[in-house]
Every structure is written in structure tokens, then in C-alpha cells.
């Protein structure tokens, strides 16, 4: 699936680039990252995993708004990230980080599978992912 497929399936909408929505999403990303850290410190590993994923999700949405897209399904965010990778603007490791966080969030939410190790990994990954999204936002 590519960006055009996502648009055709109504998973993604082409919009005018929106810096205000981009800034709002990045603030949400940072908020979620802080909540993920607090949950980890409180040994609430399930919630830390969930919030780490949403920190990444909102950081990626910030980039989408800057690029002129509005996601309607989470998978569309991944497709845009993969497109950025194919064009040489984003390293593959960030695709892997995002995918891994998607899966661990789904596992925590729907299958009740979570651990301290997964929470710690996702928390560190979220911090790195957000840093990379900020760099991309500065380049646009």
C-alpha cells in the first residue's frame, strides 16, 4: 500500500499543510511521553507502553500535518513514514520503532501482554523517535 492507496481508501486525506496542527500534535507527543515516563516510574508498564506508542503516533501526526496529510487510520501514518524512508528522508530504524510500538501497544491493550522490559524499550524508542520527528519538522 502507498500514499495514493491510503487516500483512495479514505485512510488518509490530503490537506493544506498546517503548522498550527503540527505544533499541537507535537505538544501532545511530549505530553504523552511524560505520562509514559511517569507510568514507568509508577511500575504501570501497560500504561507506559500505551502512552509511549501514542507519543510516537502524535509526533508522526505532527509531521503529517506539516506535509499536508490528515490520517484517518493509524496504518496511514506508517505508510507515510515508509514513503519518507523510500525517498531517503527517514532511516528504516524509525519505521521499525514505530511498528514495534504499534504491536506492543496492541498487545498491552488487547492481549494483556506487557512487561517492564518492553515498557523500558518503548519509552527509550519513543524519546528517540520524537527527536527524529522534530528534526524532520525543522527541515520542512
Angle at which helix 45-67 crosses helix 116-139, to 10 degrees, equals 10
41-83 confidence digits (pLDDT tens): 999 999 999 999 999 999 999 999 999 999 999 999 999 999 9
> Residue 139: which pLDDT band, with cuts at 50, 70 and 90?
confident
Q: What is the CATH number of the domain that holds 127?
A: 1.20.120.330
Taking residues 9-30, what's their average pLDDT?
Answer: 96
- How many structural domains compose the chain? 1
> Residue 140: which pLDDT band, with cuts at 50, 70 and 90?
low
Residues in contact with 73: Cβ distance below 8 Å, sequence separation at least 6, in sequence order: 6, 11, 12
Q: Which domain holds residue 55?
A: 3-139
Measured distance CA(72)–CA(51) in Å, rounded? 19
Whole-model pTM? 0.94
HEC per residue, the chain? CCHHHHHHCCCEEECCCCHHHHHHHHHHHHHHHHHHHHHHHCCCHHHHHHHHHHHHHHHHHHHHHHHCEEECCHHHHHHHHHHHHHCCCCCHHHHHHHHHHHHHHHHHHHCCCCCHHHHHHHHHHHHHHHHHHHHHHHHC
* pLDDT of amino acid 131: 97
86-134 confidence digits (pLDDT tens): 999 999 999 999 999 999 999 998 988 999 999 999 999 999 999 999 9
Amino acid at each position: 500500500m502507498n500514499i495514493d492507496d491510503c487516500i483512495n481508501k479514505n485512510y488518509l486525506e490530503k490537506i493544506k499543510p498546517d503548522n498550527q496542527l503540527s505544533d499541537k500534535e507535537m505538544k501532545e507527543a511530549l505530553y504523552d511521553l511524560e505520562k509514559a515516563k511517569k507510568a514507568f516510574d509508577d511500575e504501570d508498564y501497560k500504561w507506559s507502553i500505551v502512552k509511549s506508542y501514542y507519543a510516537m503516533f502524535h509526533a508522526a501526526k505532527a509531521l503529517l500535518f506539516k506535509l499536508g496529510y490528515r490520517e484517518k487510520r493509524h496504518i496511514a501514518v506508517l505508510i507515510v513514514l515508509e514513503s519518507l524512508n523510500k525517498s531517503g528522508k527517514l532511516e528504516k530504524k524509525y519505521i521499525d520503532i514505530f511498528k514495534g510500538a504499534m504491536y506492543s501497544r496492541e498487545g498491552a491493550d488487547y492481549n494483556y501482554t506487557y512487561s517492564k522490559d518492553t515498557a523500558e524499550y518503548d519509552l527509550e524508542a519513543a524519546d528517540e523517535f520524537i527527536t527524529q520527528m522534530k528534526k524532520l519538522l525543522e527541515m520542512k
